[in-house]
Structures are given as C-alpha cells and as structure tokens.
Amino acid sequence: MKFSGWPEPGELAVGEVDDVNEDRGVYVDLDEYEDKRGFVHISEVASGWIKNVRDHVSEGQTVVVKVLDVNESSRQINLSIKDVNDHQRKEKIQEWKNAQKADNWMELAFGEDMDDEQYSAIANALLAEFGSLYDGFEQAAIHGHEALEDTDLDEDEIDAIVETARDNVSVPYVTVTGYVDLTCPESDGVECIKEALQAAEGNGEVPEEVDLEVTYVGSPEYRIRVQAPDYKQAESQLEESADRARAVVDGHGGTTGFHRERNVEDE
C-alpha cells in the first residue's frame, strides 16, 4: 500500500535512486508514497568531502532517507542519506519489508481486485488496533479470531484474515522446558502417574496458540515442553502444567519435584 499524502519532516522513508547528478546530488523515488520524488543534495549523501557521488550511490539502489523538509506547493522534498545511521537503516528496511508482506497478505485474503475503499477500510481497522497491518496479521496468526474481536471488521473479513495469517505468517515462538519428578507409593502407582501426566497435558484446556508436550525421560522424571508466542504465557503454562501433575501425585501421598530449562526457538 502506498500513501497518497506527503511525508513529514524528520520521517524515515525507503526509496530507489532514480537519477544521479555527479555535481549536485541524487533524486530518489519514495517507494511508500504515490508519485513522490525527493532530492538528496550532494552534501547530504555522505559525511565528509565527496569527490564523486557515484562512489556512494547508484541508479536503482534502495536507500533509507531522512525527510528534511517538504514544500507541497512546489512539490519539492529535500532528503538526507547521511543522517540515517546503520541501526535506523536496518529497522526501517525491516519495517518496509514487513509492510510489503502485509500488502501481499491483503491480496491473498481479499483478492487482487479488491477496490481501494475496501482496502482502506480493512487497513484502517487493523492500523487502529495494532499500529501496522503486519502486526495485525501476526496477532491473527497467533491468537486467531480472538485477536480481532475488538476491531471494526465483520465476521467474513476476520475469517479471511485469520485463514490467510495462519497459512502465511511465520511467527516467532518461545520454548520453555521443565522437568517434574513423580513418584507414587500406592499399589496402583502406575495409574496415579498416568492420571498426573494427563493432568499435566491440560485435559484439552490448553490455549489454542500454545503447544504443550509431556514426555518420559527416565523414572521418575518427565519433561514438559511448552511453546508459546511469548515468555510470560510460556512460563505460566509450564508452571500450571507442573502444578497439575504434582497435585495429582500429592493427592495420592506421593512425592514430587520440579526443575527447569529455558531457550528460545524461532520457527
């Protein structure tokens, strides 16, 4: 999606170098704005004395620029490349790539022939709730319909976004691992442990976005592995799982223990 308006002074923007004038500077087409072109004076291309602009930029190169000032009446936008540091450049490029992905997901969800009015209405609903289209689709991939309940989207639109998000959005997940020791002295101790493990697995009540797995390590130790969108939820689910198993064994007069490990996996 390209903005029809004008960039604001101080804003960072992504553009493509369109024309290089070795004596004056470079012209940049702003990729995020419709029909907007800016100029980077030679003094704003790089720090220090510049012998040849082409030593620093070339036609067709993607650059991140800072908007210095805007004159709408003369359609003039002055830009700077040197005022953008490496950290800002990387963040802006990632934001721009995310916006392109989200734009593609909108087409997948609602078709390439969706009109501008429908696009704007859906985009504005996601922007109002999440701040960006990308974040809206990401939350839909993680939390499903629940993530979009407070938006102004109708049921069919929510269905389309959730389905597309879950088919296309790669979500970073956190994985936490803990270990429970379960010992039951009763004659039917095996059944007691089975009951405890079923309780640890949640009896079907684990949230949809959480993956919880309980596996045997070696008597009396069992591993609980939880994968969730963030640490807070992952750790909460791990503790609750361990507590459920320990409650069952404690109720049968058994003994329990718990220790943990933690790592992050991006999948």
pLDDT digits over 70-117, tens only? Answer: 999 999 999 999 999 999 999 999 999 999 999 999 999 999 888 889
| Domain assignment of residue 199, yes or no | yes
Residue ranges in the chain whose pLDDT is less than 50: 262-267
Beta carbons within 10 angstroms of residue 14's beta carbon:
21
Q: Answer yes or no: are the C-beta atoms of 157 and 119 closer than 8 Å.
A: no
- Write the CATH number for 34: 2.40.50.140
pLDDT at 142 (0 to 100): 81
pLDDT at residue number 259: 85
Note if the bond before 220 is cis, omega within 30 degrees: yes
pTM of the predicted structure, to 2 decimals = 0.65
**Region at 60 (left for phi over 0; alpha for psi -120 to 50; beta for the rest):** left
Q: Which of 179, 180, 178, 177 is nearest to 250 (CA)?
A: 180
Which of 168, 197, 231 is the C-terminal boundary of a domain? 168
Is there a single domain that holds both residue 197 and residue 253? yes
259 and 211 in one domain? yes
Give the span between the Cα atoms of 234 and 174, in whole angstroms: 7
How high is the pLDDT of residue 261?
Answer: 63
Q: Is residue 97 in some structural domain?
A: yes
Burial class (CB within 10 angstroms; exposed 0-12, middle 13-18, buried 19+) of 60: exposed
Q: Residue 41 sits in which domain range?
A: 12-83
Instruction: Report the domain count for the chain.
Output: 3
Strands (E), 55-186: 62-71, 76-80, 172-183
Residue 1: inside a domain, yes or no?
A: no
Per-residue pLDDT at 99: 93
Last residue of a domain, one of 168, 197, 213: 168
What does the pLDDT read at residue 141?
Answer: 87
pLDDT tens digits, one per residue of 195-210: 999 999 987 778 888 8
The Cα 153–Cα 120 span in angstroms is 12
